[in-house]
Amino acid sequence: MPSEEQRMLSGKLYNVYDKELGKKYERKDQLLHQINFPIPDVDPQAKLTELIGKMGQNCYIEPPFFCDFGDNITLGDDVYCNTNCIFLDSGKISIGSRVLIGPRVNLFAAGHPIDAGVRNKWLGFGKPITIGDNVWIGGGTTVNPGVTIGNNVVIGSGSVVTTDIPNNVVAVGNPCHVLRKITEQDKIYWQAEETDYVEDRGPLGSPDIQ
d(CA 17, CA 83): 28
d(CA 91, CA 147): 11
DSSP 133: S
Confirm whether 177 is a catalytic residue: no
Query: Cβ(36)–Cβ(64) under 8 Å?
Result: yes
Question: For the purposes of burial, counting CB atoms within 10 Å of the CB of 172, is it exposed (0-12), middle (13-18) or buried (19 or more)?
Answer: middle
Find the catalytic residue in 24, 27, 112, 177.
112
Question: For the purposes of burial, counting CB atoms within 10 Å of the CB of 136, is it exposed (0-12), middle (13-18) or buried (19 or more)?
Answer: middle
- H helix or E strand, kind and range, residue 87: strand 85-88
Q: 85-88 and 65-67: which strand pairing?
A: parallel
- H helix or E strand, kind and range, residue 86: strand 85-88
Kindly report each contact of residues 52-56 with a partner whose C-beta sits within 8 Å and lies 24 or more positions away, as own/partner: 55/79, 56/97
Cβ neighbours, 10 Å, residue 70: 22
Query: Looking at the annotation, which residues are catalytic?
Result: 112
